[in-house]
Chain A
Amino acid sequence: TVGAVAVDKQGNIAAATSTGGMTAKRYGRIGDSPIIGAGTWADNDSCAVSATGHGEYFIRFNVASDICARVKYQGKDIQKASDEVIFGEMKQAGGTGGVIVVDAKGNVAMSFNTQGMYRAFRKQGQQAQVAIFK
Protein backbone atom coordinates (compact mmCIF):
# COMPACT_ATOMS: atom_id res chain seq x y z
CA THR A 1 0.00 0.00 0.00
CA VAL A 2 1.12 3.55 -0.69
CA GLY A 3 -0.29 6.90 0.35
CA ALA A 4 0.23 10.63 0.66
CA VAL A 5 -1.12 13.54 2.70
CA ALA A 6 -0.41 17.22 2.14
CA VAL A 7 -1.29 20.79 3.04
CA ASP A 8 -1.06 23.54 0.39
CA LYS A 9 -0.47 27.31 0.57
CA GLN A 10 -4.20 27.91 1.03
CA GLY A 11 -4.20 25.67 4.10
CA ASN A 12 -6.23 22.98 2.38
CA ILE A 13 -5.33 19.42 3.27
CA ALA A 14 -5.92 16.15 1.37
CA ALA A 15 -5.24 12.42 1.67
CA ALA A 16 -4.81 9.58 -0.83
CA THR A 17 -4.19 5.83 -0.55
CA SER A 18 -3.61 3.20 -3.26
CA THR A 19 -3.00 -0.54 -2.90
CA GLY A 20 -2.74 -3.95 -4.49
CA GLY A 21 -4.37 -5.56 -1.44
CA MET A 22 -2.99 -8.75 0.08
CA THR A 23 -1.22 -11.72 -1.46
CA ALA A 24 -3.51 -14.61 -2.44
CA LYS A 25 -6.68 -12.74 -1.49
CA ARG A 26 -9.98 -14.31 -2.54
CA TYR A 27 -13.70 -13.58 -2.65
CA GLY A 28 -13.25 -9.99 -3.84
CA ARG A 29 -11.71 -9.08 -0.50
CA ILE A 30 -11.42 -5.33 0.09
CA GLY A 31 -9.22 -3.82 2.80
CA ASP A 32 -9.24 -0.35 4.33
CA SER A 33 -7.44 1.53 1.54
CA PRO A 34 -10.53 2.46 -0.47
CA ILE A 35 -12.75 2.87 2.60
CA ILE A 36 -13.25 6.55 3.41
CA GLY A 37 -12.83 6.89 7.18
CA ALA A 38 -10.87 3.66 7.64
CA GLY A 39 -7.79 4.05 5.43
CA THR A 40 -8.20 7.60 4.15
CA TRP A 41 -9.66 10.77 5.67
CA ALA A 42 -9.20 14.53 5.28
CA ASP A 43 -10.95 17.44 6.98
CA ASN A 44 -9.47 20.95 7.10
CA ASP A 45 -10.81 21.31 10.67
CA SER A 46 -8.70 18.42 11.96
CA CYS A 47 -6.22 16.49 9.79
CA ALA A 48 -5.54 14.30 6.76
CA VAL A 49 -4.64 10.62 7.21
CA SER A 50 -3.48 7.78 4.96
CA ALA A 51 -3.12 4.32 6.51
CA THR A 52 -1.35 1.07 5.74
CA GLY A 53 -1.43 -2.31 7.42
CA HIS A 54 -3.85 -4.98 8.52
CA GLY A 55 -6.90 -3.73 6.64
CA GLU A 56 -9.58 -5.62 8.51
CA TYR A 57 -8.54 -3.94 11.77
CA PHE A 58 -8.33 -0.48 10.22
CA ILE A 59 -11.90 -0.92 9.01
CA ARG A 60 -13.22 -2.18 12.34
CA PHE A 61 -11.55 0.64 14.30
CA ASN A 62 -12.33 3.29 11.67
CA VAL A 63 -8.74 4.41 12.16
CA ALA A 64 -8.29 7.43 9.88
CA SER A 65 -11.52 9.09 10.95
CA ASP A 66 -10.95 8.24 14.62
CA ILE A 67 -7.57 10.01 14.63
CA CYS A 68 -9.10 13.16 13.13
CA ALA A 69 -12.06 13.03 15.54
CA ARG A 70 -9.64 13.05 18.50
CA VAL A 71 -7.94 16.12 17.00
CA LYS A 72 -11.21 17.88 16.26
CA TYR A 73 -13.22 17.16 19.40
CA GLN A 74 -10.55 16.54 22.04
CA GLY A 75 -8.05 19.16 20.86
CA LYS A 76 -5.18 16.68 20.71
CA ASP A 77 -2.17 17.21 18.46
CA ILE A 78 -1.89 14.86 15.50
CA GLN A 79 1.01 12.79 16.89
CA LYS A 80 -0.77 12.10 20.18
CA ALA A 81 -4.04 11.28 18.46
CA SER A 82 -2.27 8.92 16.02
CA ASP A 83 -0.31 7.14 18.75
CA GLU A 84 -3.45 6.65 20.84
CA VAL A 85 -5.21 4.87 17.98
CA ILE A 86 -2.28 2.91 16.52
CA PHE A 87 -0.89 1.76 19.89
CA GLY A 88 -4.23 1.70 21.70
CA GLU A 89 -7.32 -0.33 21.01
CA MET A 90 -6.22 -1.40 17.57
CA LYS A 91 -2.91 -2.90 18.66
CA GLN A 92 -4.48 -4.50 21.70
CA ALA A 93 -6.96 -6.22 19.37
CA GLY A 94 -4.08 -7.52 17.23
CA GLY A 95 -4.09 -4.97 14.43
CA THR A 96 -0.77 -3.90 12.94
CA GLY A 97 0.23 -1.06 10.64
CA GLY A 98 0.66 2.68 10.60
CA VAL A 99 -0.47 6.10 9.44
CA ILE A 100 0.89 9.35 8.07
CA VAL A 101 -0.87 12.56 9.10
CA VAL A 102 -0.75 16.30 8.37
CA ASP A 103 -2.79 19.20 9.70
CA ALA A 104 -3.63 22.57 8.19
CA LYS A 105 -0.74 24.25 10.05
CA GLY A 106 1.88 22.12 8.30
CA ASN A 107 2.56 19.72 11.17
CA VAL A 108 3.43 16.14 10.22
CA ALA A 109 2.95 12.99 12.30
CA MET A 110 3.82 9.36 11.63
CA SER A 111 2.86 6.45 13.83
CA PHE A 112 3.27 2.69 13.28
CA ASN A 113 3.34 -0.40 15.48
CA THR A 114 5.26 -2.64 13.05
CA GLN A 115 9.01 -3.10 12.67
CA GLY A 116 9.09 -0.58 9.88
CA MET A 117 7.14 1.64 7.53
CA TYR A 118 8.44 3.04 4.27
CA ARG A 119 7.94 6.76 4.82
CA ALA A 120 9.11 10.29 4.05
CA PHE A 121 8.05 13.86 4.61
CA ARG A 122 9.08 17.37 3.64
CA LYS A 123 8.12 20.58 5.39
CA GLN A 124 8.37 24.12 4.04
CA GLY A 125 11.93 25.23 3.47
CA GLN A 126 13.39 21.87 4.47
CA GLN A 127 14.81 18.89 2.64
CA ALA A 128 12.94 15.59 2.46
CA GLN A 129 13.47 13.19 5.35
CA VAL A 130 13.24 9.51 4.49
CA ALA A 131 13.11 6.49 6.82
CA ILE A 132 12.17 2.82 6.75
CA PHE A 133 12.80 1.29 10.16
CA LYS A 134 12.05 2.57 13.66
Chain B
Amino acid sequence: SSIAIAIHGGAGTISPQSMTSAQKLRYEAKLKQATDMGYNILAKGGSSIEAISAAVNVLEDSPLFNAGIGAVYTYDGAHELDASIMDGKTLNAGAVTGVKHIQNPINLARLVMTHSVHVMLSGEGAEEFALQQGMPLVANSTFDTERRYQSLLKAKQKLHDIKAKSKSGADYQANYVNWDNSYKMG
Protein backbone atom coordinates (compact mmCIF):
# COMPACT_ATOMS: atom_id res chain seq x y z
CA SER B 1 0.00 0.00 0.00
CA SER B 2 1.04 3.61 -0.57
CA ILE B 3 2.17 5.25 2.66
CA ALA B 4 1.07 8.77 3.65
CA ILE B 5 0.83 10.98 6.68
CA ALA B 6 -0.95 14.25 7.42
CA ILE B 7 -0.73 16.40 10.53
CA HIS B 8 -2.34 19.55 11.93
CA GLY B 9 -1.40 22.02 14.64
CA GLY B 10 -4.78 23.66 15.16
CA ALA B 11 -7.05 26.03 13.25
CA GLY B 12 -8.72 29.32 14.05
CA THR B 13 -8.14 33.04 14.04
CA ILE B 14 -4.57 32.96 12.74
CA SER B 15 -3.99 35.43 9.92
CA PRO B 16 -1.00 36.42 7.74
CA GLN B 17 -1.08 39.90 9.32
CA SER B 18 -0.75 38.56 12.87
CA MET B 19 2.40 36.55 12.16
CA THR B 20 5.94 37.70 11.40
CA SER B 21 8.06 35.95 8.78
CA ALA B 22 10.28 34.54 11.51
CA GLN B 23 7.27 33.13 13.38
CA LYS B 24 5.90 31.60 10.20
CA LEU B 25 9.24 29.90 9.51
CA ARG B 26 9.31 28.48 13.05
CA TYR B 27 5.84 26.99 12.64
CA GLU B 28 6.61 25.58 9.21
CA ALA B 29 9.87 24.00 10.41
CA LYS B 30 8.15 22.28 13.33
CA LEU B 31 5.29 21.03 11.15
CA LYS B 32 7.80 19.62 8.67
CA GLN B 33 9.81 17.98 11.45
CA ALA B 34 6.68 16.24 12.80
CA THR B 35 5.61 15.12 9.32
CA ASP B 36 9.04 13.74 8.43
CA MET B 37 9.29 11.99 11.80
CA GLY B 38 6.07 10.08 11.10
CA TYR B 39 6.88 9.50 7.43
CA ASN B 40 10.31 7.99 8.17
CA ILE B 41 8.70 5.48 10.53
CA LEU B 42 6.23 4.49 7.80
CA ALA B 43 9.00 4.28 5.19
CA LYS B 44 10.92 1.83 7.40
CA GLY B 45 7.86 -0.40 7.67
CA GLY B 46 6.56 0.95 10.97
CA SER B 47 2.84 0.97 11.73
CA SER B 48 0.51 3.90 11.26
CA ILE B 49 -0.07 3.93 15.03
CA GLU B 50 3.68 4.32 15.65
CA ALA B 51 3.95 7.04 13.01
CA ILE B 52 1.11 9.22 14.29
CA SER B 53 2.23 8.82 17.92
CA ALA B 54 5.73 10.03 17.06
CA ALA B 55 4.43 12.94 14.97
CA VAL B 56 2.06 14.08 17.72
CA ASN B 57 4.87 13.80 20.30
CA VAL B 58 6.91 16.34 18.29
CA LEU B 59 3.99 18.78 18.36
CA GLU B 60 3.21 18.13 22.05
CA ASP B 61 6.83 18.88 22.94
CA SER B 62 6.76 22.22 21.10
CA PRO B 63 5.60 25.43 22.84
CA LEU B 64 4.13 26.61 19.53
CA PHE B 65 0.98 24.48 19.71
CA ASN B 66 -1.91 24.06 22.12
CA ALA B 67 -1.02 20.57 23.35
CA GLY B 68 1.52 19.34 25.92
CA ILE B 69 4.07 22.11 26.46
CA GLY B 70 2.34 25.22 25.16
CA ALA B 71 -1.12 24.13 26.31
CA VAL B 72 -3.48 26.96 27.20
CA TYR B 73 -4.44 27.74 30.81
CA THR B 74 -7.71 26.91 32.52
CA TYR B 75 -9.58 29.63 34.40
CA ASP B 76 -7.83 28.49 37.58
CA GLY B 77 -4.39 28.90 36.01
CA ALA B 78 -3.59 25.23 35.43
CA HIS B 79 -3.41 23.01 32.35
CA GLU B 80 -5.85 20.18 31.61
CA LEU B 81 -4.94 17.99 28.67
CA ASP B 82 -7.00 15.61 26.52
CA ALA B 83 -5.99 13.09 23.84
CA SER B 84 -7.32 10.18 21.83
CA ILE B 85 -6.08 7.62 19.34
CA MET B 86 -7.79 5.04 17.12
CA ASP B 87 -6.56 2.04 15.13
CA GLY B 88 -8.43 1.65 11.84
CA LYS B 89 -7.59 -2.05 11.49
CA THR B 90 -9.15 -3.20 14.76
CA LEU B 91 -11.34 -0.18 15.67
CA ASN B 92 -9.57 -0.22 19.04
CA ALA B 93 -9.42 3.22 20.61
CA GLY B 94 -8.04 4.96 23.69
CA ALA B 95 -8.60 8.38 25.21
CA VAL B 96 -7.72 10.43 28.28
CA THR B 97 -9.36 13.64 29.48
CA GLY B 98 -8.47 16.30 32.00
CA VAL B 99 -5.02 14.97 32.83
CA LYS B 100 -2.67 17.47 34.48
CA HIS B 101 0.60 15.64 34.97
CA ILE B 102 1.21 13.63 31.79
CA GLN B 103 4.03 14.91 29.58
CA ASN B 104 2.67 13.33 26.38
CA PRO B 105 -1.06 12.62 26.71
CA ILE B 106 -1.20 10.80 23.36
CA ASN B 107 1.15 8.14 24.78
CA LEU B 108 -1.23 7.58 27.68
CA ALA B 109 -4.22 7.40 25.32
CA ARG B 110 -2.31 4.73 23.39
CA LEU B 111 -1.68 2.79 26.61
CA VAL B 112 -5.39 2.98 27.44
CA MET B 113 -6.04 1.47 24.00
CA THR B 114 -3.47 -1.30 24.23
CA HIS B 115 -3.19 -2.04 27.97
CA SER B 116 -6.68 -1.55 29.39
CA VAL B 117 -10.13 -2.93 28.73
CA HIS B 118 -11.49 0.63 28.57
CA VAL B 119 -11.71 3.33 25.93
CA MET B 120 -11.62 6.55 27.98
CA LEU B 121 -10.11 7.39 31.36
CA SER B 122 -10.37 10.78 33.03
CA GLY B 123 -8.47 12.98 35.48
CA GLU B 124 -6.91 11.38 38.55
CA GLY B 125 -7.99 7.90 37.48
CA ALA B 126 -6.16 8.26 34.19
CA GLU B 127 -3.05 9.39 36.05
CA GLU B 128 -3.33 6.45 38.46
CA PHE B 129 -3.42 4.17 35.40
CA ALA B 130 -0.35 5.98 34.00
CA LEU B 131 1.56 5.26 37.22
CA GLN B 132 0.53 1.59 37.07
CA GLN B 133 1.93 1.45 33.54
CA GLY B 134 5.24 2.97 34.65
CA MET B 135 4.63 6.37 33.09
CA PRO B 136 6.08 9.14 35.29
CA LEU B 137 4.00 12.15 36.33
CA VAL B 138 5.34 15.67 35.77
CA ALA B 139 4.57 18.98 37.45
CA ASN B 140 1.70 20.92 35.90
CA SER B 141 4.09 23.87 35.53
CA THR B 142 5.93 21.82 32.87
CA PHE B 143 3.32 23.10 30.42
CA ASP B 144 3.67 26.79 31.33
CA THR B 145 4.48 29.35 28.65
CA GLU B 146 4.42 33.13 28.93
CA ARG B 147 2.41 33.55 25.72
CA ARG B 148 -0.44 31.35 26.94
CA TYR B 149 -0.37 33.05 30.35
CA GLN B 150 -0.87 36.41 28.69
CA SER B 151 -3.83 34.93 26.78
CA LEU B 152 -5.39 33.86 30.07
CA LEU B 153 -4.94 37.34 31.56
CA LYS B 154 -6.53 38.84 28.46
CA ALA B 155 -9.51 36.48 28.67
CA LYS B 156 -9.99 37.27 32.37
CA GLN B 157 -9.75 41.01 31.72
CA LYS B 158 -12.50 40.63 29.14
CA LEU B 159 -14.66 38.91 31.71
CA HIS B 160 -13.96 41.71 34.20
CA ASP B 161 -14.90 44.32 31.59
CA ILE B 162 -18.21 42.58 30.93
CA LYS B 163 -18.97 42.60 34.63
CA ALA B 164 -18.08 46.29 34.94
CA LYS B 165 -20.33 47.41 32.07
CA SER B 166 -23.32 45.27 33.11
CA LYS B 167 -26.09 47.17 34.87
CA SER B 168 -27.66 44.21 36.66
CA GLY B 169 -27.20 40.53 37.34
CA ALA B 170 -29.43 39.63 34.39
CA ASP B 171 -27.57 42.07 32.15
CA TYR B 172 -24.25 40.50 33.18
CA GLN B 173 -25.58 37.04 32.48
CA ALA B 174 -26.77 38.06 28.99
CA ASN B 175 -23.48 39.80 28.19
CA TYR B 176 -21.49 36.85 29.51
CA VAL B 177 -23.43 34.34 27.42
CA ASN B 178 -22.87 36.47 24.30
CA TRP B 179 -19.16 36.68 25.01
CA ASP B 180 -18.89 33.05 25.96
CA ASN B 181 -20.60 31.90 22.75
CA SER B 182 -18.21 33.91 20.62
CA TYR B 183 -15.19 32.91 22.68
CA LYS B 184 -15.45 29.16 23.09
CA MET B 185 -12.96 28.27 20.37
CA GLY B 186 -11.29 24.98 21.23
Residues of A within 8 A of B (CB): 1-26, 28, 30-36, 39-44, 48, 50, 52-56, 58, 96-102, 104-108, 110, 112, 114-124, 128, 130, 132-133
Contacts and interface: CB of A to CB of B under 8 A. Distances in A.
B29 to A, nearest CB: 9
Interface of B: 1-16, 19, 24, 27-28, 31-32, 34-36, 38-39, 42, 45-49, 51-53, 55-56, 59-60, 65-68, 70-76, 79-89, 91, 93, 95-98, 104-106, 109-110, 119-120, 123, 143, 148, 151-152, 155-156, 159, 184-186
Contacts of A54: 184-186
Contact of A15 (B36, B71, B88, B105): B88
B67 to A, nearest CB: 4
B6 A119 contact: yes
A20 B11 contact: no
B6 A19 contact: no
A104 B4 CA distance: 9
A7 B87 CA distance: 10
B1 A105 contact: yes
A48 B84 CA distance: 13
